[in-house]
Structure 1
Amino acid sequence: MEGETHQEERLPVPPADYWAVEDKVRHSLGQCYDKRVLQVTPGAGEVVSNEKGKRFKVNGSLDAIKERWLKERTVIFIFQDESRNLSRAVKEDLVRAYEDGWFAKRLFRPEVTRGRIKFEGPNVISYVAKAVEVATWLVQKGSTQLSLKGKDYLVSFKPWMTKVELKDLRLKDAESNFWIVALRVTLDAMYYLSSAIEGLIKGVKHVHAPEMDRSWPKLMNLKIDMDPQARFRVEDTLTIESPKGELWKVEVATPYLDWCRKCRWYFHTEENCPRNATEDRSRR
């Protein structure tokens, strides 16, 4: 069963330095990422407890092998131009259609199957290939036009990046493709939002369809493409006043804010996500 832990397939007790059993570690990594078979690995780390709390600290050499394994197989897909504004579902469909193309052409070994997709941002995907040769081929290719329903979309391919490098990429991209997200907008304020942004900030280029906030279903999040120069004029909140004097305050997110992939919200990262405290309490 997918996701099942198979204790009978455990690695033998390794030396402190996992590089001595690198081949076995790589096999274990393939079982995890390719076949979704999770193993208990003796010596993978140690339990520590101090003022930062109780946690599992991973073995340095084991993590270095894992990082090298991922680096060899991971390609960053960057959606350009019109493809930036496609929904996540459509972007994934584009990638899967591209895979279908190389399967049909038999570019790789028959046992090579679909890779794993992880969204890193609005226009960035981490693609973990099932074989090194797939990742190498994509990086060497550099870019391509992905086709869906008769329309082509430009996508570029980059080698694996660390979290810091991905953040730098997002910030650099914001210099030419700047956007803001108005967060949890009330129904009263929504009608006036784009006009208020143009009046207060200026530079509205395109207003995307509102999306319902998952945690507050009665509120909406709205993404607005802006002139790049508007990034110097944006503030953390904007205020709209009704004729009756009621103030509607709207929080504004930009590419420069921290983004948490755990709870999919702004203003913090995974390391200081509020969900961590909730999870810690539930384990006690």
Structure 2
Amino acid sequence: MCYDDGVYPTEIDPGEIVVEGREVRFRLNTSLDEIEVKWFKERTVTVIFKEAARFLAKNIKDDLVHTFEDGWVIGNESLQENTRRGRLKIEGPGVASYVAKAREVANFMKTEGKVEITLGAEAYKILSKSWMAREEFRDLRRPEEDRVVWVVTLQVPLDDMTFIYAQIERAIGKIIMVHPTDVDPSRSVLVNARFDLEPEARPNVTDVLWVEMAKGDVLEIKLANSDSLKCRICWQFFHTQHDC
């Protein structure tokens, strides 16, 4: 509630401060950090979207998680007047952290564990587990990153959209899954496209495709992969949050 409403503790110890040029670093007080971790463990659920659910848009993932919440609220008179929602934070393509408004909601979701929720003709599988710290999320993602070979073609121009699938297969390897395209945030007239490939394609992953058009024009298409830098603020490739 304080997070949503912008209510700030004004007398709290901000931690030990270190000034480094035009940057400032805070090292939190251990006891306060432990209190925060305890609060998160009580109210936060790790939500894992399985199979087809991994590739849903964030607003659809929000709706799926709120279905959990609604399932607990219905029939519980103590929350009938509470219309506030929990907050979902995407941690990766198939993983999110859900901060519930009440401990009871988080406990209910963890008790439910695994469910299938039907939207239209499709059934989506969702797992609910105890809260995971950032380090645990990194450990969870690492095996998948090692197993799945993928590239994202950035700012694909319309001129090459027809050929990009065949070009990826010829240059890198067999495509096993095509993800929905995303509008590039920096150039809304262009799209980014992700392709998952067979493991054998890993040695062939490249950084750039150069395409010579029939009329002599040359297009540069950059490719991102699991080794590329990625910003944790804007979620774009080839730079970090320190550069954003």
- Verify same fold: TM over 0.5: yes
Q: Which runs of 5+ in 2 are unaligned?
A: none
Q: Distance in 2 between matches of 1:212 and 1:114?
A: 28
**How far off is 1:209 after superposition?**
3.7
Q: Which structure 1 segments of 5+ residues have no match?
A: 1-30, 276-284
Corresponding position of 2:126: 155
Query: Amino acid of the residue matched to residue 223 of structure 2?
Result: V
Aligned residues: 242
Paired residue for 1:222, among 185, 188, 193? 193
Asked whether 1:64 is paired with 2:34, we answer yes
* 2:69 and 2:105 in contact (8 A); partners too: no
The amino acid that maps onto 1:174 is E
Supply the distance in 2 between the matched residues of 1:45 and 1:211 (Cα, whole angstroms).
Answer: 40
CA distance in structure 1 between the partners assigned to 2:19 and 2:155 by the alignment:
38
Instruction: Give percent identity, aligned residues only.
Output: 38
Q: C-alpha separation between the residues in 2 aligned to 1:119 and 1:198?
A: 30
- 1:187 aligned partner, one-letter code: L
Equivalent position of 1:278 in the other structure? none
8 Å CA contact retained: 1:171, 1:255: no
Between the aligned partners of 2:193 and 2:98, the Cα distance in structure 1 is: 27
Corresponding position of 1:104? 74
Is residue 76 from structure 1 mapped to residue 56 from structure 2 by the alignment? Answer: no
Query: Aligned equivalents of 1:169 and 1:240: distance in 2?
Result: 37
Conserved 8 A contact 2:46-2:130: yes
How far is the alpha carbon of 1:96 from its aligned partner?
Answer: 1.8
User: Does the 8 Å contact 2:181/2:192 carry over to 1?
Assistant: yes
State the one-letter code of the partner of 2:31.
Answer: S
Whose strand fraction is larger, Structure 1's or Structure 2's?
A: 2
Pairwise mapping of residues 178-257 of structure 1 onto structure 2 (< 5 A)?
A: 178-244=149-215, 246-257=217-228
* Distance change in 2, residues 1:166/1:47 (3 Å): same
Q: What is the correspondence of 1:107-118 to structure 2 with a 5 Å cutoff?
A: 109-110=78-79, 114-118=85-89
Which range moved further: 110-119 or 89-98?
110-119
Q: Residues 42, 99 of structure 1: CA spacing in aligned structure 2 closer, same or farther, 3 A cutoff? A: closer
- Letter of the structure 2 residue corresponding to residue 194 of structure 1: Y
Using the alignment, how far apart are the partners of 2:12 and 2:56 within structure 1? 44
Match status 1:44 vs 2:22 = no
Q: Which SS does the other structure have where 1:198 is aligned?
A: helix
Q: CA deviation at 1:154?
A: 0.6
* Matched letter for residue 166 of structure 1: F
Cα distance, 1:51 vs structure 2: 4.2
Q: Give the secondary-structure state (helix, strand or coil) at the position aligned to 1:264.
A: coil
TM-score (norm. length: structure 2): 0.84
1:10 is matched with which residue? none
Q: 2:63 aligns with which of 89, 93, 97?
A: 93
Q: Which deviates the most, 227-236 or 61-70?
A: 227-236
Give 1:80 shift: 1.0
Say if 1:118 and 1:127, in contact at 8 Å, map to a contact too: yes
Q: Please report the RMSD computed on the Cα atoms of aligned residues, expressed in angstroms.
A: 2.7
**Counterpart position of 1:264:** 235
